[in-house]
Structure 1
Amino acid sequence: MDRCPPVARLIAGGSRDAFWAEVRRRGTPLVDDLGDGTCAVTFAVPQRPGTTEVRVLPNKLADAAHPDATTAEQLPGGWALTLRMPRDWRAGYGIAELPGAPVPATNGAAAARRERALAAVAEAGRPALGRFLDAQAAARPDPLAREHLPDGTSVVSLPDAPARPRPGGPPGTVLHGTLDDRPLWLHDPAGADPGEPLPVVVLLDGHTWLADDLPAVLDGSIARGELPPVRTVGVAAAPGDRRSRELGCDPGFVALLRDGVLRWAGGLRGLTPDPGRTVVAGQSLGGLTALYATQVAPERFGLALSQSGSFWWPNTGGVAEWLTGALPTGPRTAGVVLEVGSEEWVLGGPTLRVAGALAARGDPVRLREFRGGHDPACWRTTLVPALGDLLGRGGGR
């Protein structure tokens, strides 16, 4: 699209120093409302020695087939890329500052993945794919970004993107433990009777949510009546390939949640035994497992929150979209929320089919699309509101 106003002024002969001072003052990206429901979003990267090309890698917008779409323009003193995006867009992104030579793989596993990817495309497409893989290998957080995730990922949030619920309110208690060397944590809301059998959320990939200060967000949401008093149990993911195995419709892992994780949590605080007040929540493969748990352990797990659920599973061997095919003969749930991003072209169809299968058998199901991709930057804004929809709103404390 056309250059944003500050870049246009620079190209027309404006002061280079004034432009980069404005970038540092405003933070990145620069956002200019175009008045038609969209914004000009300009990523600006100051020049560093040795850089011959800059690519911006917004979640689900950058791909090898269209390299020009996310390649920045060289400016006096640096680089810039302007995208036109809806006002409610949010995404994590990285900046790749590339030298003229290929970027070496950081380790043997990365080199092997690169070889496999290049071997899978025609020879004519290998240079473009190679450069895209270079960009992925070189990507780093944007040091001028106004917002970051706990792992350092830069985030762009446009004016109408949903905000994450605010922390605050009386602080609850976070208890920690392990189960077979797997870290667990339990959030107990402020003012709750320790023995009261409160609703419970089993949250997969719980280590990432603890790092993102979810307990403080739960405190604020409960205090404001956006969420009823609820006990949340975070379950850390297994390392490496074990995570994929456990979250790939594994009945043994669901048994671990039911018989191990909830037993640990129930030894510390009261938990409802009602499956209709018990949620499993997860993202990606965790979103697949959240729904799967209601099918193999319906006596304990009656509610599911699936954010960007990997309902294509399995993609190698077996029957694609296996869980969707099993739903017509499975037990009904007390309620399901399915969320998928507008840029998740791989997941859109499978998620619609899951929603259709649930609705056909009479389950209460809500399907929501957010503006974004397969992205923790988006999941963190909708997790708690979706839990409130499943469990009902609280009255504050």
Structure 2
Amino acid sequence: MPREVDTFLTTVPPGKGRALRPDRTTGPAVEALIAAVAEGRADLPGFWRTVEERGTPLVERIDATDQCAVTFLWRGGNELADVILFADKAADADSYECNRMERIPGTDVWHLTYRMRADWRSSYAIAPVPADPSAASPGPLEEMAAIRRRRSLARAEPADRPAIARWFDAMAHAVPDPRARERLDASWSVVSLPDAPPELWRDAGAGAPGTVEEHSFTSAILGNTRTVWIHEPARRPADGGPWPVLVLLDGEQWAGIPVFPLLDALIERGDIPPMVSILVSAVDFPTRTRELACHDPFVAFLDEELLPWASEGRRLTSDPEHTIIAGQSLGGLTALYAAHTAAHRFGRAISQSGSFWWPAPVGADGETERLTRLLAQADRLPGRVHLSVGVHEWRLLEPTRRLRDTLAQRGAAFDYVEYNGGHDRACWRAGLPDGIVALTGGGARSRTVPAGDGAARTRHA
């Protein structure tokens, strides 16, 4: 098997996709509108004025429960064949029908209500699918969406492939919700229900702005060139000592949010100490799938090339206890792998939605969950780890729990969080500050806070 094919196969998650399956209901506001339409007394302009004032989705508590009716809306008429909600990255044959909005007859109101636990958070987009296919040309799918399309179709039964293709074809029309209260970026809106974990970056206010340098860095070890951002806050270390360091993988994603004002604000408020943050881009998808899969040359690049280079002209710590590496998905796998194989440099690791199923058995002679096995056998464990995973991450949840159990059995120091969400940058954005605080906030404390549906927060000394 050619090396590039083998690498790709080992980074395809095992198992079929499983889309989000919330209970569908009808929210009180839409129920009232449906009744008013039936009785001929509907004030549609007034309804849309209220929606504009409240923002979307409409969130209405369901009495005496921990549930909310979450109503997504779109305004349109006969020019639309369908309106599809995209609030989950997984896809299966039922995705299109399960996420299809209904139109109140005779109105311009399209609606879809989920019954969700009140701590849910998700990014989402809405696809208005034109009735006349020639009326609007859909944009091309983003790179990751196109890859997920190919992967989903490859896994699917032949009879299911047309339905899955229809889902991804609709995704090409997806746009942010124009009335959303929150935005993630130019493509995605965010819904955060009332009991969703608080976001430190929202409460921190504004901090004195630091400096951000953007560099092009060529690695002799890896033989490629990538963009690297270095953020240095305005506030200096209190003792005049060297800078603590945060290395953040998939740096282009975080630079685009952007993460720098968040770090400035958290440092200004004292939630985290002053530290230099180094954001490392992934170059492109093929490079990412190779380098962020327990790839020793990539860890060597970070340790032997990137950090020494970043130290030129600024005094960065060489103490692993004050050096954090953080990543998400394959980056989360790599963050923990770096803390395992280069513990002399990375003493702290944040892994959000880590791909601990890796490698996929189809490309690795049946092997899977390699890092969990390595940690079970290791002579030395990572110094401190912060793990988080969403309860809707069907392929990641159980592998992450098994890795957690392995760390616990070995007596490792770690934090573990399960949140009510999916494989989602909105959840990672909310959780990253918590991870940094946990790994810079002093000694470990043991605590477990139930969060429902098997979710929990645990800290082990």
TM-score, normalization by structure 2: 0.79
Q: For structure 1, which segment, 370-379 or 13-22, has the greater mean C-alpha deviation from structure 2 after superposition? A: 13-22
Query: Could you list the per-position Cα deviations for residues 12-59 of structure 1 after superposition, in whole angstroms to 9, with x for gaps in the alignment?
Result: 122222222222222211111223221111111011553111111112
- Match for residue 399 of structure 2 among 342, 350, 359: 350
Report the equivalent of 2:363.
317
The answer on 1:191 being equivalent to 2:191 is no
Whether 1:264 and 2:312 are equivalent positions in the alignment is no
Taking the aligned partners of 1:52 and 1:152, their CA distance within structure 2 comes to 22
Q: Contact between 2:95 and 2:167, CA under 8 Å: does it hold in 1?
A: no
Q: Which amino acid aligns with 1:209?
A: W
Q: Are the counterparts in 1 of residues 357 and 369 from structure 2 also a CA contact under 8 Å?
A: yes
Residue 179 (structure 1) aligned with residue 217 (structure 2): yes
Structure 1 residue aligned with 2:409, among 360, 377, 385? 360
Return the alpha-carbon distance in structure 1 between the equivalents of residues 197 and 153 of structure 2.
38
Distance 1:202 1:120 in 2: 35
Q: Who is 1:73 aligned against?
A: 102
Please tell me the root mean square deviation across aligned C-alpha atoms, in Å. Answer: 2.6
CA distance 1:302–1:54, shift in 2 (3 Å):
same
Pairing 1:38-187 to 2, within 5 Å after superposition: 38-48=67-77, 50-60=79-89, 63-65=92-94, 67-75=96-104, 76-100=107-131, 106=140, 117-118=152-153, 120-164=155-199, 165=201, 166-180=204-218, 181-187=225-231
Distance 1:367 1:172, change over 3 A: same
Alignment partner of 1:306 is 2:306: no
Structure 1: how far apart are the matches of 2:154 and 2:310? Answer: 48
- How far did 1:138 drift? 2.6
Looking at structure 2, the residues matched to 150 and 114 of structure 1 have their Cα atoms a distance apart, in angstroms, of 22
* Cα distance between partner residues in 2 of 1:112 and 1:234: 24
Structure 1 residues 48 and 245: alpha-carbon distance in aligned structure 2, compared to 1, 3 A threshold:
farther
Shift of 1:162: 2.3
Query: Tell me, what secondary structure is at the counterpart of 1:52?
Result: strand
Q: Distance in 2 between matches of 1:118 and 1:305?
A: 32
Alpha-carbon distance change, 249 to 113 in structure 1, aligned in 2, over 3 angstroms: closer
Separation in structure 2 between the aligned mates of residue 130 and residue 200 of structure 1, nearest angstrom: 44
Which ranges of structure 2 fall in alignment gaps of 5 or more residues? 1-23, 219-224, 444-461
Deviations 1:198-240 (A, max 9, x none): 2211110122212223221112212222112222111111112
Query: Post-superposition, which runs of at least 4 consecutive aligned residues in structure 1 deviate over 6 A?
Result: 101-105, 109-113
One-letter identity of the residue aligned with 1:7: V
Separation in structure 1 between the aligned mates of residue 139 and residue 179 of structure 2, nearest angstrom: 26
Residues 1:391 and 2:440 aligned together: yes
The CA distance in 2 between the partners of 1:130 and 1:185, in whole Å, is: 37
Aligned letter for 2:190?
V
Partner SS, residue 93 of structure 1: strand
The answer as to 2:55 corresponding to 1:27 is: yes
Kindly provide the amino acid, as one letter, of the partner of residue 168 in structure 1: A
CA drift at 1:178: 2.4
Cα separation, 2, equivalents of 1:154 and 1:221: 24
Q: Which of residues 388, 409, 414 is equivalent to 1:339?
A: 388
* Distance change >3 Å, CA 273–CA 219, structure 1 → 2: same
Q: 2:33 aligns with which of 2, 6, 10?
A: 10
The code of the aligned residue for 1:359 comes to: A
Secondary structure of the corresponding residue to residue 346 of structure 1: coil
Give the match for residue 254 of structure 1.
299
Post-superposition Cα deviations, 1:89-122, rounded to whole Å, max 9, x if no partner, equal 1101111222457798948x98898677546544
1:208 is aligned to: 253
Q: What does residue 321 of structure 2 align with?
A: 276
- Contact preservation (8 Å) 1:105, 1:111: no
The superposition leaves residues 76-98 of structure 1 with CA deviations (integer Å, 9 ceiling, x where unpaired) of: 11310011111111101111222
Q: Percent sequence identity over matched residues?
A: 45
